Chains A and B, each alone.
Chain A
Amino acid sequence: MGNVKRSPWLLHYDGSSCNGCDIEVLACLTPVYDAERFGIINTGDPMQADIFLITGGINKANQAVVKQLYDQMPRPKVVVAVGVCACTGGVFKECYNIIGGADTTIPVDIYVPGCAARPQAIIDGIVKAIDLWQAKADKMENVQKELNKLDKLEEKEKK
């Protein structure tokens, strides 16, 4: 399918964040930054999302939720941890209920630091994520092509 990077759709999940990063994420969608001009849409639905934007650390209550949301996203998908809590656990790291950063639960591709992360940094992170996502899409396509070839070969052999 080639170029997919013109329409990255986000899934934004708030872990145990202080809501600082979440406000900044939403700020990116305001007219000032206008993320939609890159085709970015903040879809609330994992089944249609490409980029998983996670803020805040992982705690015992939301670990299963994060796992499930990640699982519900169709391939290719990219995870962006926004803010220091999502990256490492941040100031809450030592709390009794905090497990750590997002990478303790799901594979994280891009880390956007900051407390709270600035909109510019978030957009920068997303732009990086988009490139990675495109690479993954290309790889997936190639693999799919190979698989299709194998399928055809198998069918021929059967005949």
Chain B
Amino acid sequence: MTYRIFGILAFLIFAPLLGGLLSGLDRKISARMQGRIGPSILQPFYDVRKLLSKQFIIVNPAQIFLVISFLATVIVTGGMFFGGSDILLCFFLLSTGATFLIFAACITNSPYSNLGASRELLQMMCYEPAVLLACIGFYLATGSFNVSDIIQADLPAIIKTPGFFVAFVFILTIKLRKSPFDLSTSHHPHQELVKGITTDMGAKTLALYEIAEWYEHVFLMGFVGLFFVCKNPWSYVVAVVAILATYFLEILIDNTSARVKWLTMFKLAWGVTLLIAGVNLIILMVLA
């Protein structure tokens, strides 16, 4: 129990720091890949500090409340995950959080914001199967949906669930809003729709959104790490390496691909999920 509370507290305190650092790392590495020096690794913190200091502007009064609800939901989701509870419920709650974000974008009247919201919704439809299947993969590999049980397994889950892992990393590109699947909002200013879902967020609201993203990224990376964790303490080192490698891979994909159309994204995401995670599912279920 103390262990769980420790996990939750650690997440609440360190997740924004880690998330911000990851994001800074992302920008730095991206810049280097493009032959630039790039911003400081602490740049995301500077940005959020600045955004918080600005005048509080809104387009629709309900925006603040929806974005705060989004932030709170994401934090609770991550807290549940690092507190060792049920992963399936974590993702159910996360998708409720995502709906708050979508509502925050579609209650304004900007076409960009609305388009971003629609696309975000589409992205949710694309990644949802892979996410749920990944949870099922854990259940098949370790016999439990609970994080606290999964980390007590004798062998890391990845041995039995490589297909689920590949599918999850594939849709992670969507979740991290990386090109080629950054349809709803982008980190790069060279896409056809850049701000998308965040268009009508004023500076302060955007800061909340950014913080929520940090929390979410740490949660997702934790989920990636979960594939590698087992009883053996050394597995945590492997997990950290795997997380960093996955993150690097996402940055690489981000910098080497161009945005695709929705139908391509939809077909790819569902197809890859069905093919790779599905085959893994069949193998695990038939062998079990």
Do A and B bind? yes
Q: Which residues of A contact B (CB under 8 A)?
A: 1, 3-4, 6-7, 9, 29, 31, 34, 36-39, 41-45, 47-48, 50, 72, 74-76, 137, 140-141
* B49 at the A interface (CB under 8 A): yes
User: Which residue of A3, A37, A141 contacts B39 across the interface (Cβ within 8 Å)?
Assistant: A37
CA distance A42 to B191 in the complex (A): 13
CA distance A140 to B34 in the complex (A): 37
Q: Which residues of A contact B57 (CB under 8 A)?
A: 47, 72, 74
Task: Mark out the residues of chain B between 164 and 216 whose CB falls within 8 Å of any chain A CB in the assembled complex.
Answer: 189, 194-195, 198-204, 206
* B50 at the A interface (CB under 8 A): yes
* B256 at the A interface (CB under 8 A): no
- Evaluate contact between B31 and A34: CB separation under 8 angstroms: yes
CA distance A141 to B55 in the complex (A): 10
Chain A, interface SS category: loop
- Evaluate contact between A75 and B54: CB separation under 8 angstroms: yes
Task: Mark out the residues of chain B between 62 and 90 whose CB falls within 8 Å of any chain A CB in the assembled complex.
Answer: none
A31-B34, A36-B38 as given contacts; A47 in contact with B43, CB under 8 Å: no
CA distance A47 to B57 in the complex (A): 8
- Evaluate contact between B43 and A44: CB separation under 8 angstroms: no
CA distance A74 to B31 in the complex (A): 28
- Evaluate contact between A74 and B38: CB separation under 8 angstroms: no
- Evaluate contact between B53 and A36: CB separation under 8 angstroms: no
User: Which residue of B36, B50, B201 contacts A34 across the interface (Cβ within 8 Å)?
Assistant: B36
CA distance A72 to B58 in the complex (A): 10
CA distance A126 to B268 in the complex (A): 43
Q: Per-position contact with A for B22-49: 1 when CB-CB < 8 Å, else 0?
A: 0000010001001111111001001101
Given A1-B53, A3-B49, A72-B57, 17 more pairs with CB closer than 8 A: A7-B50, A31-B35, A34-B31, A36-B27, A37-B36, A37-B37, A39-B43, A39-B46, A43-B189, A44-B189, A44-B194, A45-B198, A47-B57, A47-B59, A47-B199, A76-B54, A141-B53
